[in-house]
Chain A
Amino acid sequence: MDVTVTPLPGLGTQQEFTTESGRRIGVITYRDGRMELIVSDARDPDKICAATDLTGEETSTLANLLGAPQLVRQLSEQQREVTGVTTWQLPLVPNSPFDGRPLGETEMRTRTSVSIVAVIRDGSVLPSPRPDFVFAGGDLVVVVGTAEGLRAAGEIMEHG
């Protein structure tokens, strides 16, 4: 990825990249340590249409939220040798039948032979959840299994 670093004399540094759709996304780091997220305008790429200050905690939360696909990619990478096995991330929508119920009740392993390897909640990764782990709406559930099993798992998460 091409990240452009531009010094802003007297203020700090700007780091940004251009997305495939042609928008610039970046971060301005000020001298005093403040950080600002910037997104460029769709019609005028030289201009930014959104900018927001982020605290340290907020930046790491955002990084984790965006890091979920990264985790999935890493897992897939590890399973590349094993044919027929893939990793997906299934969103657990609020009001799903398992919103507020423990992991064990899905009987996922028995019904689909799919493993739940991690849950991403509020921007942090919770690895290897145990059967008594209680799901909440908005969780991202990372699952490993065969394509067929994963489809079935998705159905279960959505409809019970």
Chain B
Amino acid sequence: MTMATRLADASLRVETERTGVLQQVWARRADYLYVLPAIVVMLIVIAYPIYYTINLSFFNTPPSLQLRDKNFVGFDNYSLILNSDVFWRVTANTFIWTIASTLIAFVLGLGAALALNRDFAGRSVLRAILIIPWVISAVAASYIWKWIYHSDFGVIGAVLVGLGLADRPPNLIDSVGTVLPSLIVVNVWREFPFAMIMLMAGLQTVPDQLLRAARVDGASAWQRFWHVTFPHLQGVSTVTILLLAVANFNSFIIPWIMTGGGPSNASHIWITHIYELAFGRQRWGVASAYSVLLFLILMTLGYFYVRALSGGERKERGA
């Protein structure tokens, strides 16, 4: 927290008498006017849908989505999910997808951030080029890579055949064994720039004097990284990894456009599976139950996220 807000807090604290919460709320009613529009919008588009999803997960709702005709089924939707093979298949895919994408994107981002951390001609141009995949539409990215992977005219197939590594172009995204890794390559392509930006900003906070001192004491480049730079990046790294993990867990566009979850569910992850259950097969109740489970998982991740962030805040306050 900056000096300014600390001052602001201090002055507010002087204004506030020791009173009950309701009295405080009343006394600060003008403050709420600033937040009120945001609260209203958030209630409509966030709180209401969460409530409604939980509600729908206990019902069997007809495909037409006629809410009058829904009937209460208790936990049936949940037990249906947990007893299906597809659930475990998709869960395994989701974990592979999330963990592999996150780790590879983070490592590539860290490498790029470190390599770009010295001054050289063309550094800012290079950085700008490396960021572009993160900015362009995921839909465009999916088409570009679909074309690159194309089983008849794809450039990867052509290179593999040209180098004599394959007799004919492989069906990278049409076969069960290779589809998930192929999609992870696309996903990492789009995401490592995010890790790079975050970590480059983090590198700015590593004190120069410490690095210089380590150099003077004869520490090697690796030792300087491991003992000085890396510990300073820990806060940013935690936040970056969590944000990447959440984004990957919630991916939709790349798997949906490139394969639609196929072949035979090999690239379905939770999100695409839920979407297909709801809008493809009109199984609103089951899809809602899936959403509730997803919500619980994300709340757990969110707990760590908030803890990582507020840990930083506590340090700032010096408490």
Tell me whether A and B are bound partners.
Answer: no
**Chain A residues within CB distance 8 Å of chain B:** none
Q: Which residues of B contact A (CB under 8 A)?
A: none
